[in-house]
Structure 1
């Protein structure tokens, strides 16, 4: 019943049926989430996660985007990034997904397999939302049970923050902007 109401609402506003719309808010920081198809851990191998992390960061750098945080996990990734215009960004992310899918499938001898499902975004609504999201991204490998501490996961921006802002800054940020139940309803990958 809820799903039918959501579909009816999307149709009424001219939005696509298959995914939420990308709100056209220029120059906004957003959390972007890219998920592997059917949540399969296609990026699971450490070398592959490192490779995808590099592909992602170079891709974002070529667009001259301000990247605030990132994490790559076996079946999804999150980035906190300032995006001038969402339509161009999602098109570019689609190209990144296509290019990396091709390389991954070639390596796995799985030509034609769908690697990525979609890319979702959420605009940061406040300073609190921004810093809680930054903590959420760094805590994501802990949340999903891959490691016990942020510093044990090498495929994220945590080390940059530790080196450039320091441990005390990170601890204060965690205390001021705790994650609590952030992501419980939508990050169930």
Structure 2
């Protein structure tokens, strides 16, 4: 979104034409892979504004995510809710329901928060994106990436310091040694910087 703004009008037209030629929507993230069991889902607040700065709102979003995904027979395997975006590692049994679930949650939260903040009509959420999980290594690296995200974005000094994260569930049910071993075996490194290149490497390693 931000890179697009820095393009010239001619460059913007070229980018949109390239996306349309690939069958992608002109501006929103494409969802080309729809037949996998696990996905990394990411949703951001518009302009990356910290509308979830207070823990109450982060917990509210997390509760709704659990409620809605469970209602559709899906399962959250990893999560982190930050002040301006969130990541989910989800077992998916019906890809077409993902958009409906997130639009419902984002719509209800937008209305409530705009009333609370006296900002009726404000745009709160941007589009969500999804990344298909292609291998066991990709799965656990994604989980580690999710747990490390509060540190990556300087919201906390340690993954364990951030409350709205699945790291605490894994700490309770798998133990610190399991988490430490997973971190060593599946390091995050530059995960997230070159999504498509990472996916190609993962496909080649299967």
TM-score by length of 1: 0.91
Q: Which residue of 2 aligns with 1:119?
A: 128
Higher gyration radius (CA): 2
TM-score by length of 2: 0.84
2:79 aligns to what SS in structure 1? Answer: strand
Q: Which residue of 1 aligns with 2:140?
A: 131
For the residues of structure 1 that align with 2:179 and 2:13, how far apart are their CA atoms? 43
Listed one character per residue, the Cα deviations across residues 105-150 of structure 1 (whole Å, up to 9, x for unaligned) are: 1211211111101110000111111100000000000111111111
List gaps (5 residues or longer) in structure 1: none
* 8 Å CA contact 1:43, 1:73 repeated in 2: yes
For residues 5 and 179 of structure 1, do their structure 2 counterparts lie closer, same or farther at Cα, with a shift above 3 Å needed?
A: farther
For the residues of structure 2 that align with 1:146 and 1:162, how far apart are their CA atoms? 20
List gaps (5 residues or longer) in structure 2: 1-9, 196-206
Deviation at 1:164, TM superposition (A): 0.4
1:81 aligns to what SS in structure 2? Answer: strand
Listed one character per residue, the Cα deviations across residues 36-86 of structure 1 (whole Å, up to 9, x for unaligned) are: 000000110122222222222222222221211000000000000012232
Q: Which residue of 2 aligns with 1:178?
A: 187
For the residues of structure 2 that align with 1:166 and 1:154, how far apart are their CA atoms? 17
1:21 aligns to what SS in structure 2? Answer: coil
For residue 110 of structure 1, the aligned residue among 119, 132, 139 is 119
Q: Which residue of 1 aligns with 2:160?
A: 151
Comparing 79-88 with 110-119, greater Cα deviation is found at 79-88
Comparing 74-83 with 15-24, greater Cα deviation is found at 15-24
RMSD value over aligned CA atoms? 1.8
Deviation at 1:8, TM superposition (A): 2.5
Q: Which residue of 1 aligns with 2:51?
A: 42
**Total equivalences in the alignment:** 186
Which structure has more relative contact order (CA 8 Å, sep 6+)? It is 1
* 8 Å CA contact 1:40, 1:75 repeated in 2: yes
